């Protein structure tokens, strides 16, 4: 088979390792599921093109092993794995053309879906016995949040296994494969596009622009010449709010994304320092429509940090961590994040250059350890107001703030960056209403419980500032109309004047 032969004969040891790992995942999936039970999600992009050819090679090797023969399907042009293509009116014509040409070349059994992703999948899986879908998701993609190489679909979606053979591949690995194997890819990548979405949010990557003194039409170098793969999505502008699930992108402004907030510091656990950043960060997250699922404090210990991040990175859409960033022996946050994500620390020349500008000649000896970042998965979030960029590793953002003023600046820069680069999905903000009452907890308990069942999309709770003070009932959600209706319903259960609104 030409793909397997090309990889075996190349001199790129890293690519050979990535290929072997991906083929292992594919053969494992084909051993667990029959051909009729698996499908490939293909969208015409570079990642799914890599996945298609990996599957071709994996299927060939799997069949060869089953029959103990080397020439089982060699030379055949058939590919029996069902292929799913979500056709969209906002897709580039070049993507559609490449997809249909590829389908014809490799005789793909292609199901074309023109519904939204979730509805289309539900209809497809209902009509076919598909149990697993191969996805071209890579670490660092928004859709990679919380996924492993084998990940069951999320609650609320039709049941299937997400199989991610290239989850640990980098931008460099993708292009190394395509060029070594000499397979066709969409022509847009030769025009400077490095990450292709819809026609509404994708432009050529400015980092590949060829300067032209004649003021003629701009020209761009091909995508594989991008020097820094971390800037792959620099040509993507987020004009719409999007939520991520199951490795597919689905527009849904009503969904709620969750974040966990982790503070690192023995001084917080000892009570020496009062941590004011957590409540500030919670308010900021609520202001962009994110729910906070956990506030945690962990020790200045690599294993403790790694364990906490490991737990939260798979259950939440984003993890924010702060404290323990620097050159001291107790500054273990970055090392803990690297361990949680299963990568080593490696020097980052760009980050070290920022440090040198910040601390000058002091950046020597042990200080250089500050420039070691999680290898292969680190994205530096730049902003002109930040002396050193923020660090993003997958769905983990490392904040360097030590006080509220610094955090306020870093947050504003992060939000501004999110509006142009999509580093953080901005949703409709949470709104709230609070009522105060002198009624007792016993009187209020049952009506409040019924109200929670009636409004499951809302956070309804009660608290007291002091044991003898008034009981505060708080309604929080994203729909002001429903919040008003819930509060009015609460008031109707009691006599007039039992509640007063708190501004």
Question: What is this structure's pTM?
Answer: 0.54
- The secondary structure of residue 397, as a DSSP letter, is E
62/46 Cα distance (integer angstroms): 24
pLDDT score of 160: 92
pLDDT score of 238: 44
Q: Which two tokens stand for residue 419?
A: 């509006």
For 477, half-sphere exposure in the C-beta direction (CA atoms, 13 angstrom radius) is 19
pLDDT score of 183: 94
446/489 Cα distance (integer angstroms): 13
Helix (H) or strand (E) holding 357: helix 349-359
41: left (phi over 0), alpha (psi -120 to 50) or beta: beta
Query: How is the chain split among helix, strand and coil, in percent rounded to 5?
Result: 40, 20, 40
Question: What class does CATH assign to 431-502?
Answer: alpha beta
Would you say how long the chain is, in residues? 503
pLDDT score of 362: 57
Beta strands in 237-389 (DSSP E): 243-245, 248-250, 257-264, 290-298, 318-322, 345-347, 372-374, 378-381
Q: What is the dihedral of CA 43, 44, 45, 48, to 10 degrees?
A: 70
Burial string for 347-368 (b: 16+ CB within 10 Å, else e) reads ebeebbebbbeeeeeebeeebe
480/486 Cα distance (integer angstroms): 10
If 0-12 CB within 10 Å is exposed, 13-18 middle and 19+ buried, where does residue 250 land?
A: middle
Q: Which two tokens stand for residue 18?
A: 């990535």
Contact 310, 296 (CB under 8 A): no
pLDDT score of 387: 87
Residue in the block written with tokens 């299937």:
160
Q: What is the mean pLDDT of each run of 10 residues along the chain (503 residues)?
A: 90 91 95 93 94 94 74 56 89 93 92 83 88 87 75 86 91 93 95 89 88 71 84 62 41 67 94 92 93 93 94 90 88 92 81 76 55 83 88 92 94 85 78 91 90 88 88 91 91 86 81
pLDDT score of 66: 77
Question: What class does CATH assign to 1-171?
Answer: alpha beta
Q: In sequence order, what DSSP letters do the residues of 455-468 get, joined into one string?
A: -TTSEEEEEESSTT
Going 70 to 75 to 80 to 85, the CA torsion angle's sign is positive
245's CB contacts (< 8 A; 6+ apart) are 154, 157
What is the crossing angle of helices 13-32 and 171-181, to 10°? 90
Nearest CA among 164, 176, 99 for reference residue 137: 164
Query: How far is C-alpha 214 from the chain's CA centre?
Result: 41
Q: CA triplet 265, 269, 272: central angle to 5 degrees?
A: 90
* Residue ranges per structural domain of the chain: 1-171, 258-421, 431-502
pLDDT score of 423: 65
Nearest CA among 5, 66, 6, 2 for reference residue 30: 66
Per CATH, the number for 258-421 is 3.40.980.10
Report the 3 state secondary structure along 257-276: EEEEEEEECHHHHCCCCCCC
pLDDT score of 353: 79
Burial string for 125-151 (b: 16+ CB within 10 Å, else e) reads beeeebbbbbbbbbbbbbbbbbbebeb
pLDDT score of 226: 87
């Amino acid at each position: 088979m030409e793909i397997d032969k090309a990889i075996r004969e190349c001199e790129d040891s890293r690519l050979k390792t990535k290929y072997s790992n991906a083929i292992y995942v594919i053969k494992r999936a084909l051993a667990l599921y029959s051909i009729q039970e698996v499908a490939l999600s293909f969208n015409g992009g570079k990642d799914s093109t890599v996945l298609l050819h990996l599957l071709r090679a994996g299927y060939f090797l799997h069949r060869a092993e089953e029959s103990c023969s080397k020439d089982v399907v060699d030379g055949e042009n058939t590919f029996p794995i069902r292929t799913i293509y979500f056709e969209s009116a906002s897709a580039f014509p070049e993507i559609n053309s490449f997809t249909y040409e590829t389908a014809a070349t490799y005789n793909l059994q292609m199901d074309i879906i023109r519904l939204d992703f979730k509805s289309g999948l539900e209809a497809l899986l209902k009509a076919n016995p598909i149990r697993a879908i191969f996805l071209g998701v890579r670490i660092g993609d928004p859709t990679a949040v919380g996924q492993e190489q084998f990940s069951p679909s999320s609650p609320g979606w039709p049941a299937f296994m997400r199989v991610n053979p290239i989850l640990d591949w980098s931008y460099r690995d993708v292009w190394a494969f395509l060029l070594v194997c000499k397979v066709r890819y969409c022509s847009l990548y030769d025009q400077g596009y490095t990450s292709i979405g819809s026609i509404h949010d994708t432009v050529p990557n400015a980092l590949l622009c060829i300067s032209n003194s004649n003021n003629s039409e701009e020209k761009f170098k091909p995508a594989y010449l991008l020097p820094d793969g971390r800037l792959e999505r620099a040509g993507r502008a987020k004009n719409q709010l999007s939520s991520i699930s199951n490795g597919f992108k689905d527009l849904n402004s009503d969904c709620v994304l969750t974040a966990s907030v982790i503070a690192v510091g023995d001084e917080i656990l000892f009570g020496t320092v009062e941590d004011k950043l957590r409540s500030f960060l919670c308010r900021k997250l609520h202001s962009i429509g994110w729910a906070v699922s956990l506030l945690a404090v962990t020790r200045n210990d690599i294993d403790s940090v790694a364990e906490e991040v490991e737990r939260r990175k798979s259950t939440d859409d984003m993890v924010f961590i702060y404290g323990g960033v620097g050159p001291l022996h107790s500054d273990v946050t970055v090392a803990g994040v690297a361990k949680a994500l299963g990568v080593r620390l490696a020097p980052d020349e760009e980050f070290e250059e920022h440090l040198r500008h910040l601390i000058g000649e002091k950046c020597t000896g042990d200080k250089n350890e500050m420039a070691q970042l999680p290898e292969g998965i680190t994205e530096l979030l730049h902003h002109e107001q930040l002396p050193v960029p923020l660090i993003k590793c997958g769905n983990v953002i490392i904040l360097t703030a030590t006080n509220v003023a610094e955090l306020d600046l870093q947050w504003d820069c992060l939000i501004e960056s999110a509006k142009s680069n999509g580093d953080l999905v901005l949703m409709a903000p949470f709104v709230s209403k609070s009522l105060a009452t002198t009624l007792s907890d016993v009187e209020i308990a049952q009506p409040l419980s019924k109200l929670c069942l009636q409004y499951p999309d809302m956070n309804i709770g009660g608290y007291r500032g002091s044991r003898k003070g008034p009981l505060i009932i708080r309604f929080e959600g994203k729909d002001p109309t429903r919040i008003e209706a819930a509060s009015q319903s609460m008031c109707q259960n009691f006599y007039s004047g039992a509640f007063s609104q708190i501004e």
